[in-house]
């Protein structure tokens, strides 16, 4: 399980002074949680596989919608602004009148929005964007190649749904993107008569409620989920529609007035694979301060004991699952060591828990990899993105143990108030949809978990990206030598280069080698702010060298500078395989956008972190590669790494499935305690 994302509990909630609006038909709409039994689950798995295979077929209907909408273009083009507004209002009335979107209405809506967009910003949607938008309205995942203009695509679907009266949440992966997209599209929405809200960090309740009360709200997945979680705390148990409405009748300060969201109606999730699949394992927790669970001396004693234990004899470290497992001998040894240590140590579960956390702190969590020290405090670093997460803590005394190890002042422990996962959250949307560049290997999972079918949308222009064959080198040093050599070559030609790494550490190493070779370059720290996005968007300029993790500047278009296209476009070099092939594809998708030329190349080594703990150790692999000769050795190495990647993908998929299952089981067991948030 990933380390949980923890946010602090909301302080005293002041009643919101939201503008008066029409009361909602249902208070706080959300979909009833799916309670599938085993048969449902088995069927869903089969259907998921079938649907994943049919991803290309269902696009036809959307093609027809796009075609019809484009056919109206000329007629609408001739309309005056006033008539156009009139038509939009008429359409809104029609849309509100029915519960489902009819193809004819969608066609009209798309044609109108396209024209409005054209008049406001000069951007008229392409056919494929309309296809994508139609899929979104249909509650599907639109798989669109990177650079196909997903932001613009979303406006069609969001605009249509908002005109139909549904509160729309457009979910992006970071604050910067949310704000940028909202500002970019605000004029279009305004012209349609729709309001747009943006959720940012550090907004207060009233501001948030205000933003969520807009027709269309741009937000990040994290903010959205936490806001929902806080709402659930405010709602408490027994928050049925009727209860809430009755309550609002007889009290002035009622629960409905303390909410941020209006309910979960329609969400368009950008980078759906990242949000719905990769981050699915991250538990979201709202916690409150609580006194420390363990005294200082207990922690230090645990550390002491942990240091006397030896690895194969007393415990084993399961690197793949990031945990420590004791052997029988280890258990006996701990019992032996603490025999004179007083009450806190008498319980077997307690003492083993303490020592386990101590061992984890010592051997599984490393400074500058999993956390950094800042102002005498432990700050956790996100393993996926390399971002620092100041508001996160580890649970069950682990945080205190790490603080103890680093000699920091012990922070107080936190108790959980509410907890959920993205899996649970997004399944509650009455209508969920998403966009992503690639769904390779997870299309079936989209169906089984979220009941989201995937639709493959064709590209607007044919792809002109070249894939050079993967290169496999025997070790890390060799690899970097080859990488710098290759970059120098490309740099000399003036080709912009993007080096994609897996972690911040690898980025730093790449930077060191490039500096050594005297190559000017920029390193992205995945801070995900304005500056980062602008650096990424500059990465396409002549002669640029940019080093970034896969997450850095996600969603940002890398536009080619003048003269770059003639030199072969952006050249992407991958130096480490990612956790999933899908993420490799994302990296490759950084180049060759919208029919531009581009090149992708992977330069890898047998020291790749994915191979650690695999079937064949890197030493053995090296010998086999040498035995097989150059050509077959390369093929073998690449296969080996692909297989390791496949294993990792499968492991993660299984962990996600386990999490969902244990979540559901917990829910069943704890049914008497009300719902979990």
Tokens standing for residue 578 = 């990612």
570 phi, psi to nearest 5 deg: -70, 135
Per CB under 8 A, does 326 bind another protein?
yes
- Which part of the chain contacts another protein (CB under 8 A), choosing from 130-138, 484-492, 634-642, 668-676? 668-676
**Are β-strands 388-389 and 196-198 bridged in parallel, bridged antiparallel, or unpaired?**
unpaired
- Cβ at position 451, least distance to another protein in Å: 20
User: Other CB atoms closer than 10 Å to residue 35's CB: what's the count?
Assistant: 9
13: DSSP letter: P
Encoded one letter per residue, x for contact with another protein by CB under 8 A and - for no contact, window 257-296 reads --------------------------x---------x---
Residue ranges for the known binding site are 129, 147-151, 557
Per CB under 8 A, does 96 bind another protein?
no
Per CB under 8 A, does 104 bind another protein?
no
Residue ranges for the known binding site for ATP are 129, 147-151, 557
- Cβ at position 396, least distance to another protein in Å: 6
**Cβ nearer to another protein, comparing 22 with 343:** 343
Sole binder of another protein in the list 279, 352, 445, 585 (CB under 8 A): 352
375: DSSP letter: T
Tokens 């240091």 found at: 307
Burial (CB count <10 Å: 0-12, 13-18, 19+), residue 540: buried
Sole binder of another protein in the list 100, 238, 492, 630 (CB under 8 A): 238
**Cβ nearer to another protein, comparing 419 with 554:** 419
Sole binder of another protein in the list 60, 346, 367, 632 (CB under 8 A): 346
Per CB under 8 A, does 243 bind another protein?
no
Neighbouring-strand partners of residue 499: 547, 573
Angle 519-523-525 from CA coordinates, rounded to 5°: 170
- Which part of the chain contacts another protein (CB under 8 A), choosing from 254-262, 298-306, 341-349, 520-528? 341-349
Helix (H, G, I), strand (E, B) or coil at 597: strand
Per CB under 8 A, does 396 bind another protein?
yes
- Helix spans in 315-427 (H): 328-337, 348-359, 398-406, 422-426
- Which part of the chain contacts another protein (CB under 8 A), choosing from 343-351, 424-432, 568-576, 629-637? 343-351
Rg over alpha carbons for the chain, rounded to the nearest Å, is: 27
Per CB under 8 A, does 170 bind another protein?
no
Per CB under 8 A, does 78 bind another protein?
no
Please tell me the distance from the alpha carbon of residue 140 to that of residue 594, in angstroms, as a whole number: 23
Q: Count residues contacting another protein (CB under 8 A)?
A: 40
569 phi, psi to nearest 5 deg: 75, -170
Q: Which of 428, 426, 435 is nearest to 138 (CA)?
A: 435
Sole binder of another protein in the list 292, 327, 459, 525 (CB under 8 A): 327
**Cβ nearer to another protein, comparing 189 with 345:** 345
Per CB under 8 A, does 522 bind another protein?
no
- Which part of the chain contacts another protein (CB under 8 A), choosing from 164-172, 306-314, 345-353, 420-428? 345-353
Residues 596-655 that bind another protein (CB under 8 A): 654
Sole binder of another protein in the list 12, 237, 336, 340 (CB under 8 A): 237
Structural contact between residues 593 and 572, judged by C-beta atoms closer than 8 angstroms: no
Tokens 């990177």 found at: 146
Sole binder of another protein in the list 86, 103, 318, 489 (CB under 8 A): 318
Per CB under 8 A, does 321 bind another protein?
yes
Encoded one letter per residue, x for contact with another protein by CB under 8 A and - for no contact, window 409-428 reads ------xxxxx---------
Please tell me the distance from the alpha carbon of residue 109 to that of residue 98, in angstroms, as a whole number: 14
- Cβ at position 257, least distance to another protein in Å: 23
Per CB under 8 A, does 669 bind another protein?
yes
**Cβ nearer to another protein, comparing 25 with 669:** 669
Which residues fall within 8 angstroms of residue 426, CB to CB, at 6 or more apart? 267, 269, 275, 276, 432, 450
Residues 17-76 that bind another protein (CB under 8 A): 35
Per CB under 8 A, does 492 bind another protein?
no
Please tell me the distance from the alpha carbon of residue 389 to that of residue 380, in angstroms, as a whole number: 5
**Are β-strands 388-389 and 377-381 bridged in parallel, bridged antiparallel, or unpaired?**
antiparallel
Per CB under 8 A, does 236 bind another protein?
no
Helix (H, G, I), strand (E, B) or coil at 141: strand
Burial (CB count <10 Å: 0-12, 13-18, 19+), residue 388: middle
Please tell me the distance from the alpha carbon of residue 85 to that of residue 503, in angstroms, as a whole number: 50
Sole binder of another protein in the list 180, 356, 428, 521 (CB under 8 A): 356
Q: Which of 555, 587, 593, 558 is nearest to 179 (CA)?
A: 555
Cα 530 from chain centroid? 19
**Site residues for another protein per CB under 8 A:** 35, 237-238, 283, 293, 318, 320-321, 323-328, 343, 346-350, 352-353, 356, 395-396, 415-419, 654, 658, 666, 669-674, 676
């Amino acid at each position: 399980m990933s380390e949980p994302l923890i946010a602090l509990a909301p302080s005293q909630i002041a009643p919101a002074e939201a503008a008066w609006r029409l009361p909602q038909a249902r208070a706080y709409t959300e979909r009833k949680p799916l309670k599938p039994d085993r048969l449902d689950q088995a069927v869903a798995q089969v259907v998921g596989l079938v649907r994943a295979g049919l991803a290309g077929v269902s696009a036809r209907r959307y093609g027809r919608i796009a075609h019809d909408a484009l056919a109206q273009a000329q007629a609408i083009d001739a309309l005056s602004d006033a008539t156009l507004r009139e038509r939009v209002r008429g359409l809104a009335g029609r849309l509100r009148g029915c519960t489902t979107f009819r193809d004819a209405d969608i066609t009209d809506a798309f044609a109108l929005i396209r024209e409005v967009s054209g008049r406001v910003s000069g951007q008229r949607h392409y056919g494929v964007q309309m296809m994508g938008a139609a899929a979104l309205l249909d509650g599907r995942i639109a798989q669109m190649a990177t650079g196909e203009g997903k932001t613009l695509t979303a406006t069609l679907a969001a605009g249509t749904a908002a005109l139909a009266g549904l509160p729309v949440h457009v979910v992006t992966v970071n604050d910067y993107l949310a704000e940028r997209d909202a500002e970019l599209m605000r004029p279009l929405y305004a012209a349609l008569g729709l309001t747009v809200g943006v959720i940012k960090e550090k907004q207060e309740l009233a501001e948030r409620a205000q933003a969520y009360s807009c027709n269309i709200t741009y937000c990040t997945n994290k903010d959205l989920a936490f806001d929902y979680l806080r709402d659930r705390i405010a709602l408490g148990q027994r928050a049925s529609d009727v209860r809430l409405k009755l309550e609002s009748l007889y009290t002035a300060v009622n629960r409905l007035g303390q909410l941020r969201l209006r309910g979960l109606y329609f969400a368009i999730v950008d980078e759906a694979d990242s949000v719905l699949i990769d981050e699915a394992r991250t538990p979201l927790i709202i916690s409150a301060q609580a006194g420390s669970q363990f005294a200082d001396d207990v922690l230090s004693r645990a550390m002491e004991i942990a240091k006397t234990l030896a690895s194969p004899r007393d415990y084993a470290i399961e690197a793949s699952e990031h945990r420590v497992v004791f052997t029988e001998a280890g258990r006996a040894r701990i019992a032996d060591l603490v025999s004179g240590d007083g009450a806190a140590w008498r319980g077997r579960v307690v003492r083993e828990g303490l020592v386990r956390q101590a061992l984890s702190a010592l051997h599984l969590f490393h400074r500058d990899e999993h956390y950094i020290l800042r102002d005498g405090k432990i700050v956790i670093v996100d393993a996926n993105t390399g971002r620092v997460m100041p508001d996160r803590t580890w649970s069950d005394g682990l945080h205190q143990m790490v603080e103890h190890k680093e000699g920091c002042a012990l922070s107080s422990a936190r108790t959980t108030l509410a907890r959920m996962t993205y899996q649970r959250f997004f399944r509650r949307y009455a209508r969920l949809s998403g966009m992503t560049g690639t769904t390779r290997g997870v299309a079936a999972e989209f169906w089984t978990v979220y009941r989201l079918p995937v639709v493959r949308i064709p590209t607007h222009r044919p792809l002109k990206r070249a894939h050079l064959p993967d290169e496999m080198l025997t070790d890390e040093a060799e690899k970097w030598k080859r990488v710098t050599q290759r970059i120098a070559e490309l740099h000399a030609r003036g080709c912009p280069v993007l080096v994609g790494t897996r972690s911040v550490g690898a980025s730093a190493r790449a930077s060191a080698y490039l500096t050594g070779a005297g190559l000017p370059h920029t390193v992205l720290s995945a801070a995900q702010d304005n500056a980062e996005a602008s650096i990424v968007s500059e990465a396409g300029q002549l002669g640029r060298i940019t080093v970034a993790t896969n997450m850095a500047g996600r969603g940002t278009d890398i536009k080619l500078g003048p003269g770059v296209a003639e030199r072969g476009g952006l050249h992407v070099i991958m130096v480490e395989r990612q956790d999933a092939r899908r993420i490799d594809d994302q990296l490759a998708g950084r180049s060759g956008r919208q029919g531009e030329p581009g090149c992708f190349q992977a330069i890898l080594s047998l020291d790749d972190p994915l191979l650690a703990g695999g079937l064949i150790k890197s030493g053995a692999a090296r010998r086999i590669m040498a035995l097989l000769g150059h050509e077959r050795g390369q093929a073998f190495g690449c296969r080996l790494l692909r297989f390791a990647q496949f294993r990792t993908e499968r492991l993660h998929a299984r962990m996600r499935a386990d999490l969902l299952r244990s979540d559901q089981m917990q829910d069943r067991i704890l049914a008497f305690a009300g719902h979990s948030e």
